[in-house]
Copies of this chain bind each other. A is one copy, B any other.
Amino acid sequence: MNVPFDLAAYMRTVGQNARGAARVMAVADTAAKDRALLAAAAAIDRDQALLLAANAGDVARARAEGCDAAFIDRLTLTPKSVAAMSEGLRQIARLPDPVGAITDLNYRPTGIQVGRMRVPLGVIGIIYESRPNVTADAAGLCLKSGNATILRGGSEAAQSNQAIGACMLEGLRAAGLPQDAVQVLATTDRAAVGLLITMPEHVDVIVPRGGKSLIARIAAESKVPVIKHLDGNCHVYVDERADPDKAVRIADNAKTRRYGVCGAMETLLVHPAQAEALVRIAAIYREKGVEIRGCEKTRVLVAGARAATEEDWYTEYLAPIVSVRIVDSLDEAIAHIEKYGSHHTDAIVTEDYTRARRFLREVDSASVMVNASTQFADGYEYGLGAEIGISTDKIHARGPVGLEGLTSQKWVVLGNGEVRA
């Protein structure tokens, strides 16, 4: 956008239009929303070449600006990732519509019936970085949950995002839904973010998707509630009474399945009785090139392990590095997780009923697991169908956030002329 224009006025207009569209979306038929999603998916499939061309332009500019390989990787669309986008929208169309669902409608002694109806949040602002597929994913989830969306992607992905946004608009048009229900900002001015997060009159919630520093900055400056995802410093505790085979399998998968995901284990806590299992796990890590940083006791058992520093216990590596600590009891394990963890996802491996029960109750994390890999922490794996993100907050939404997390509940009261005494 080289045309000079009044950014504040533009953002106000975007906000007002979103608010108007949100009112229509809130009462839109399930069938209309699904038609919009399917038509958008069809448009994406049809326009694959066009999307790839727009993306190629973005990628060329990003390369010219010297963006690093990981960044270029996240930015790049392929025929496969474009197909995944349209398939994602079709999946969202197949999910049950959460809006309007009435639950717990019970009679009260006064004669009135009281229940709750699920309703959209209203206008959702999505702020994201290089991945253009967020444009379709996030817009699709917001659309299905009856919300209007304002999307603010990274400037490097501007053309890709506009092209995907055009497909979403085509879907809305085909279904007779308001165009302003999905607005991809027509500016890459960084000041737009500052305006978006300070218009509580037009925006009901902000979902930032991207690096920790982006999210922390938005959370600090926002005047609108933020569904945010910060650290994922996850733990697996191999208890005295763990089945060693399960311990080895889980410690392996939790660390090495994918290193860069927030549900990846970063610290392994091991009871001294499980020294043998630890040696087996360490052998797997060594074979897979995972660097081990251990406490003193660990280093006695695991040859070649570097000494872990205090800083290591706090660190979310998102890399082939693991810190390992021998802890003498469940209490010590829970205390370690409480002190160093980030309340994201933590697991115990044990066959002991009471310790499993205690771990579930006492560990204050968004996901607590018994005998399962921390890498299961994911909306699809949890049965949400899709996720807009993983919340590390406690208020409103915790852990993977799907369609339900984009809604609220209002109270419904059905009476027959009752009045309050």
Contact = CB atoms under 8 A, between A and B. Distances in A.
Interface of A: 23, 26-27, 100, 106, 108, 110, 112, 114, 117, 119, 121-122, 204-205, 220, 223, 225, 243, 245-246, 249-250, 252-254, 257, 338, 347, 349, 360-362, 364-373, 375-378, 381-383, 393-396, 398-400, 408-420
B249 A417 contact: yes
Contacts of A398: 408-411
B257 A373 contact: no
Contact of A420 (B381, B396, B409, B415): B381
Given A23-B338, A419-B250, A411 B382 contact: yes
A332 to B, nearest CB: 15
A106 B383 contact: yes
A356 to B, nearest CB: 8
A23 B338 CA distance: 9
A383 to B, nearest CB: 6
17 contacts: A26-B364, A117-B360, A117-B361, A121-B395, A204-B394, A225-B395, A243-B417, A249-B419, A369-B412, A372-B417, A373-B418, A373-B420, A375-B420, A376-B420, A381-B420, A395-B396, A395-B408
B121 A419 contact: no
B412 A253 contact: no
A112 B204 contact: no
A376 B119 contact: no
A32 to B, nearest CB: 14
Q: How many copies does the complex hold?
A: 2
Contacts of A204: 394-395
Contacts of A377: 411
Task: Please name the 3 residue pairs, one residue from A and one from B, whose CB atoms are nearest each other, closest first.
Answer: A372-B415, A246-B417, A253-B419
A303 B85 CA distance: 64
A27 B361 contact: yes
Given A23-B338, A100-B361, A106-B383, A412 B249 contact: no
Looking at A254, A398, A411, which has the most chain B CB atoms within 10 Å of its CB? Answer: A411
A158 to B, nearest CB: 30
Contacts of A378: 420
Contacts of A417: 243, 245-246, 249-250, 349, 371-372
Contacts of A365: 410
A147 to B, nearest CB: 11
Given A253-B420, A371-B416, A375-B420, 14 more contacts: A108-B382, A114-B383, A122-B394, A204-B394, A220-B223, A249-B417, A347-B413, A360-B412, A367-B413, A368-B412, A368-B413, A372-B419, A373-B419, A399-B410
Contact of A419 (B257, B338, B360, B367): B257
